[in-house]
Amino acid sequence: MKVLGIETSCDETAAAVVVDGTQILSNEIASQVEIHTRYGGVVPEVASRQHLLAIIPIIEQAMTGAKVTWSDLDGIAVTMGPGLAGSLLVGVNVAKAVAFAHGLSLTGVNHLEGHIYASWLTGRDIEFPLVCLIVSGGHSDLVFMRDHGDYTVLGRTRDDAAGEAFDKASRILGLGYPGGPAIERAACQGQTSLPLPRAWLKGSHDFSFSGIKTALLHLVQEGKVALNGPDSGLPTVADAAASFQEAVFEVLVTKTVAVAREYGAKQVLLVGGVAANRSLRQKLIDESPLPVVVPELVLCTDNAAMVAACGYYRFRAGKVAGLDLDVTPGLKLA
């Protein structure tokens, strides 16, 4: 079954063609990052206008790259939420128009579910039950999955998402936007010498990252980080980045491993934009007693192949949408 995936929930316009939820024929992404960098973050109105400009060319590229015509496709999967309303609307309306014009089935995909299904594009066998850590710009969720489409959210962030905390920490350290990759690059040159707290929230599987970020802000404001280059033995920006990254990852990895044990999971999945971080990938692989599945980097950050993969399993379960499909910016998992 060949599924066209469409993703426009935030600032990437993406289209992909995937066979049977596992084999990528094409995976095209038009990133808006250069445009939003000017503003230090995603500007929703700018994002939806850019989606309008990019969506048709990116679908054409995905179709051409996959060497398929409309009659070769079996269905269209589109992200319907969570995300920015104006951005989601572009993808959903284009998907509906194309499905109507070509008589194709349509299914609406939860963006977080999409991130999870990037794991099916790794070529690894995925075994249930499993525990999945979703770490993105908007979410940090620990999810227990008994089967396809069967999710129980065991823990989530009570304040900042992990990616959001990276973006804010990067701004505090003057490392710019997008913050995750900038912190990762800086951290490679640093030592974990800056004392930062960890919020364990004992007895709960939830996370909290705003305290780490605020502690970092206070240390910077108190002049305890050498912001203007190495000097007088103070921790450098690279040290601060390494310490911040370590504090966030220690909590994420420790809690994920504990939950996987507690729930008798057979595997641990690591997905979402922050899963592109090599230190996090390695730390979870090193510390998990269970096999860890992590998608390749381009499938961790937003893409449409994951949406098509998820769409395949939805079609298989008979979850087909009508042309009244609408966006749900606050859509929840489960």
Residues found near Zn ion in the complex (CB under 5 A): 136, 302
Does 141 participate in binding ligand KG4 (rule CB under 6 A)? no
Strand 292-293 versus strand 267-271 pairing type:
parallel
Tokens of 190: 């640093």
Question: Rounded to an integer, what is the distance from CA 230 to the centroid of its chain?
Answer: 34
Which of ligand KG4, Zn ion, none does 94 bind, CB closer than 5 to 8 A by kind? none
In degrees rounded to 5, what are phi and psi of residue 141?
A: -120, 140
Does 91 participate in binding ligand KG4 (rule CB under 6 A)? no
How far apart (Å, rounded) are the C-alpha atoms in residues 57 and 321?
Answer: 25
- Interactions with ligand KG4, residue window 241-300 (CB under 6 A): 272-274, 276-277
Taking CB under 6 A as the binding criterion, the range among 41-49, 164-172, 208-216, 260-268 that sits at the site for ligand KG4 is 164-172
> Alpha-carbon torsion 42, 48, 53, 59, what sign?
positive
Does 138 participate in binding ligand KG4 (rule CB under 6 A)? yes
Does 179 participate in binding ligand KG4 (rule CB under 6 A)? yes
Which of ligand KG4, Zn ion, none does 178 bind, CB closer than 5 to 8 A by kind? ligand KG4
Which of Zn ion, ligand KG4, none does 155 bind, CB closer than 5 to 8 A by kind? none
How far apart (Å, rounded) are the C-alpha atoms in residues 310 and 186?
Answer: 34
Q: Which residues contact 241 (CB under 8 A, 6 or more apart)?
A: 169, 173, 175, 183, 184, 186, 187, 190
Query: Shortest approach of Zn ion to residue 163 CB, angstroms?
Result: 8
Which residue has 């298989």 as its token pair?
316
Does 302 participate in binding ligand KG4 (rule CB under 6 A)? yes
How far apart (Å, rounded) are the C-alpha atoms in residues 62 and 120?
Answer: 19
Question: Rounded to an integer, what is the distance from CA 235 to the centroid of its chain?
Answer: 31
Element (H, E) at 166: helix 162-172
Q: How many residues belong to the site for ligand KG4 (CB under 6 A)?
A: 20
Does 178 participate in binding ligand KG4 (rule CB under 6 A)? yes
Taking CB under 6 A as the binding criterion, the range among 38-46, 175-183, 197-205, 219-227 that sits at the site for ligand KG4 is 175-183
Nearer to Zn ion, 44 or 211 (CB): 44
Residue 259: strand pairing partners: none
Which of Zn ion, ligand KG4, none does 181 bind, CB closer than 5 to 8 A by kind? ligand KG4
Nearer to Zn ion, 184 or 302 (CB): 302
Query: Shortest approach of ligand KG4 to residue 161 CB, angstroms?
Result: 7
Does 238 participate in binding ligand KG4 (rule CB under 6 A)? no
Quick one: CA torsion of 196, 172, 211, 134, rounded to 10 degrees? -100
Query: Shortest approach of ligand KG4 to residue 135 CB, angstroms?
Result: 7
Residue 147: strand pairing partners: 150
Which of Zn ion, ligand KG4, none does 167 bind, CB closer than 5 to 8 A by kind? ligand KG4
Nearer to Zn ion, 190 or 295 (CB): 295
Nearer to ligand KG4, 113 or 167 (CB): 167
Query: Shortest approach of ligand KG4 to residue 270 CB, angstroms?
Result: 12
Question: Rounded to an integer, what is the distance from CA 298 to the centroid of its chain?
Answer: 10
Q: Which whole-number Å values give the CA distances from 326 to 80, 131, 333, in the listed order?
A: 7, 29, 16
For residue 119, the tally of other CB atoms under 10 A from its CB is: 23
Q: What is the binding site for ligand KG4 (CB under 6 A)? A: 10, 136-138, 163-164, 166-167, 178-181, 184, 272-274, 276-277, 301-302
